[in-house]
């Protein structure tokens, strides 16, 4: 008889089986889980993808970094194709690719680097990096092509020392509490130019390679070391994803004042933590917008039980987090239709994006656009809470394509209406950058217009068009 109990596949079972299954099977399983939406939400997707890629890197039989890059980008493209609208998947893949390039030192674009170094030299704030001079022609759906081309890699990469971001004076990277661990580039800046980071097949002329006495054994060892480093970097990335919400909440008291009237779109994990942290020092009121039809139940449960799932009758387990009401917050649940009416009394709006785009726009649960518009009309500041892992290097050229159209039965269709009534249930909304005042990330607060810069810092230009038909 079953002892372990039946478990529906999801993030939990995937992570548990990750070490057990063969790599190819894990990949296949993750693709299916993403496609079946059994892993959804940017955080879950990010954790799953990072977990898989970490395994790839660790198990990699690749005897060159280039092989590893190819492998990661190939699997990455399949993952992106499985759920092209979940931008976190692509973000993680791109960041891992960037990390591999970073550690191994291949694929660096001299143009950028020279520009960066010139900037560093002159400390000229107006001289901006031009990492995104080719704007991605983003179309998530175009990812769905079943054939994949390997990531394009430059023919002859020029080895130029990557500037050490940790020292470069970018305020956004220097989170006091977590030092360089915050940022993977900063973290990796130090070892990135060790002589061991030499891929055998690239004909780069680094001083290390040009010394002819490197033999094959050393090369193998160096790859091992490189992979070790990449693995470390990826674990940092996983930590970043995991801790983003907490790190964001650390700055809560900077943004929330006593007697604030805050409107929150749903109570996501991040929003909840943020408000809970603020509640320790401040007294304020939160109007929680229900977020029907897709998020309504989760929002209500979050308010009532402190967890998105209602404590099912069998385990009777209370949510691990404390409810906001218990923390002394005055919580008011309002239906989506009351947004505009309430907005006049609100002092701040908190959004919880699903993804943030390079132009400063965001994608969030449906209804967010309405809140943002109402806030704009009432001149209420809009804050968006988002981990950096949600920040995508893509530009929204077709905002329709960003939207996931969900289940028609989500709107409570009965059997009788199957096939008779047309029901549209878009799950997400796109909010233009003009409607957002401030992004609060784990790196601090940024204006929407500044996001391109963070994008440039976190993604390698090579990878931005990953998976698109370029």
Partner 1 sequence: MPAHSQKPEDEHDDPLQAVILTDCHENRFMPLTMQTPRCLLNLANIPLIDYTLHFLASAGVEHVYIVTSHFHEEVESHLETAGWNNDNSHFSRIECIRSQSESVGGVMRDLDQYGVLKNDFVVVYGDLISNLPLEEALSAHKKRREADKDAIMTMVLRESGTGSDSRREKAPVFVIDPKNDRCVHYEDMSPDKKEHFVSLDPDLLHDHQDMDIRADLIDCEVDIYTPDVLALWTDNFDFQTARQNFLYSVLKDYELNGKKIFTHVTTDYYAARARNLREYDTISKAIIERWVYPWTPDNNLCFGYNYQMTKGFRYKELDVRLARSCQIGPKTMIGNDTSAGEGTVIIGSVVGRRCIIGNNVTIENAYIWDDTVIRDGSHIKQAIVAKGCTIGKKCIIEPGALIATGVQVADNTTVKSSSRLTCIKRKRDDSGDFEPVTTDTKVVGVGGKGTEYSPDPDDEDEEDASLPHGLVYNLSHLTFSTESFSDPDDSFSDTSDIDPSQGRRNSTAGSIISLASDDDTSASERKSEIAFHNEAVAQLTDSLAKGDASDNMQLELTSLRMVTQASEHAMRRAIVASFMRHISSLVSDGTSIASAVTSTIKPHQALLNRNIFDKEKASKVDQVDLLLLLQSDLSKRLDGDAILLRVTHELVNLDVVEAEGIEQWWNDERSVASKEVTRLREKTRQLVDYLLRDSSEDEDDEDEDESD
Residues that bind partner 1 (CB under 8 A): 1-9, 13, 20-22, 24-25, 27-29, 32, 35-38, 81, 141, 144-146, 314, 400, 405-410, 413-419, 422-423, 425
> C-beta of 300: minimal distance to partner 1 in Å?
16
State the nearest-atom distance from the C-beta of 135 to partner 1, in Å.
22
Whole-angstrom CA distances from 27 to 19, 53, 246 are 12, 9, 29
Rounded least distance, CB 140 to partner 1, Å: 10
As a three-state string, the secondary structure of the chain is CCCCCCCCCCHHHHHHHCCCCCHHHHHHHHHHHHHCCCCCCHHHHHHHHHHHHHHHHHHCCCCCHHHHHHHHHHHHHHHHHHCCCCHHHHHHHHHHHHHHHHHHCCCCCHHHHHHHHHHHHHCCCCCCCCCCCCCCCCCHHHHHCCCCCCCCCCCCCCCCCCCCHHHCCCHHHCECCCEHHHCHHHHHHCHHHCCCCCCCCCCCCCHHHHCCCCCHHHHHHHHHHHHHHHHHHHHHHHHHHHHHHHHHHHCHHHHCCCCCEEEEECCCHHHHHHHHHHHCCCCCEEEEECCCCCCHHHHHHHHHHCCCCCCCCCCCCCCCCCCCHHHCCEEEEECHHHHHHHHCCCCEEEECCCEECCCCCEEEECCHHHHHHHHHHCCCCEEEECCHHHECCCCCCCHHHHCCECCHHHHCCCHHHCCCCCCCCECEEEECHHHCCEEEECCEEECHHHHHHHHHHHCCHHHHCCCCCC
In the bound state with partner 1, the residue whose beta carbon lies nearer, of 83 and 247, is 83
- Closest approach of partner 1 to the CB of residue 425, in Å: 7
Whole-number minimum distance, CB 401 to partner 1, in Å?
9
In the complex, minimum distance from the CB of residue 235 to partner 1, in angstroms, rounded to a whole number? 24
Provide the minimum distance between the beta carbon of 327 and partner 1 in the complex, in angstroms, as a whole number. 32
Q: Residue 444 Cβ, how far from partner 1 at the closest point, in Å?
A: 36
**Least distance to partner 1, CB of residue 39, Å:** 12
In the bound state with partner 1, the residue whose beta carbon lies nearer, of 63 and 74, is 74
Question: Which CB sits closer to partner 1, 86 or 457?
Answer: 86
Identify which of residues 321 and 425 has a Cβ nearer to partner 1 in the complex: 425
Which CB, 145 or 470, lies closer to partner 1?
145
Nearer residue to partner 1 within complex by CB, 146 or 215: 146
Q: Which is nearer to partner 1, 121 or 314 (CB)?
A: 314
Shorter beta-carbon distance to partner 1: residue 1 or 126: 1
| Cβ-based nearer residue to partner 1, 328 or 412 | 412
């Amino acid at each position: 008889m079953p002892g372990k109990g039946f478990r529906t596949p999801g993030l939990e079972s995937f992570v548990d089986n990750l070490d057990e299954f063969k790599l190819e099977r894990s990949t296949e399983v993750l693709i299916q889980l993403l496609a079946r939406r059994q892993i959804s939400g940017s955080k879950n997707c990010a954790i799953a993808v990072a977990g898989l890629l970490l395994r790839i890197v660790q198990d990699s039989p690749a005897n060159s970094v280039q092989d590893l890059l190819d492998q990661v980008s190939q699997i990455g493209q399949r993952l992106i194709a499985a759920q092209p609208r979940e931008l976190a998947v692509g973000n993680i893949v791109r960041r891992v690719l960037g990390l591999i390039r970073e550690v191994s030192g291949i694929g660096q674009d001299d143009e950028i680097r020279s520009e960066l170094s010139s900037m560093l030299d002159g400390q000229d704030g107006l001289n901006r990096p031009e990492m995104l001079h080719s704007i991605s022609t983003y179309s998530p759906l175009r990812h769905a092509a079943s054939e994949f081309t390997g990531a394009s890699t430059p023919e002859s990469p020029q080895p130029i020392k990557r500037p050490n971001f940790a020292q470069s004076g970018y305020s956004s990277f220097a989170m006091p509490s977590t030092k360089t661990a915050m940022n993977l580039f900063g973290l990796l800046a130090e070892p990135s130019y060790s002589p061991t980071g030499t891929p055998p097949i690239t004909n780069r002329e680094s001083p290390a390679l040009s010394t002819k006495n490197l033999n094959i054994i050393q090369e193998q060892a160096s790859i091992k070391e490189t992979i070790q480093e990449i693995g470390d970097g990826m674990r940092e990335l996983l930590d970043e994803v995991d801790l983003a919400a907490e790190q964001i909440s650390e700055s809560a008291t900077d943004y929330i004042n006593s007697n604030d009237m805050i409107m929150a779109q749903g109570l996501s994990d991040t929003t909840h933590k943020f408000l809970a942290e603020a509640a320790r020092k401040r007294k304020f009121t939160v109007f929680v917008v229900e977020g029907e039809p897709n998020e309504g139940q989760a929002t209500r449960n979050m308010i009532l039980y402190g967890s998105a799932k209602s404590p099912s009758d069998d385990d009777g387990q209370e949510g691990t987090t404390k409810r906001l009401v218990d923390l002394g917050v005055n919580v008011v649940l309002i239906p989506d239709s009351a947004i505009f009416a309430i907005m006049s009394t609100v002092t701040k709006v908190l959004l919880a994006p699903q993804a943030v785009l390079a132009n400063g726009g965001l994608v969030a649960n449906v209804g967010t656009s309405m809140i943002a518009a109402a806030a704009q009309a009432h001149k209420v500041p809009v804050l968006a809470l988002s981990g950096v892992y949600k920040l995508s290097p893509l530009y929204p050229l077709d905002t329709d394509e960003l939207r996931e159209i969900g289940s028609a039965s989500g709107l409570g269709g009965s059997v009788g209406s199957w096939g008779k009534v047309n029901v549209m249930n878009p799950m997400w909304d796109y909010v233009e950058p003009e409607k957002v005042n401030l992004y609060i990330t784990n790196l601090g607060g940024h204006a929407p217009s500044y996001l391109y810069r963070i994008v440039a810092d976190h993604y390698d230009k090579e990878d931005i068009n990953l998976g698109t038909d370029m």
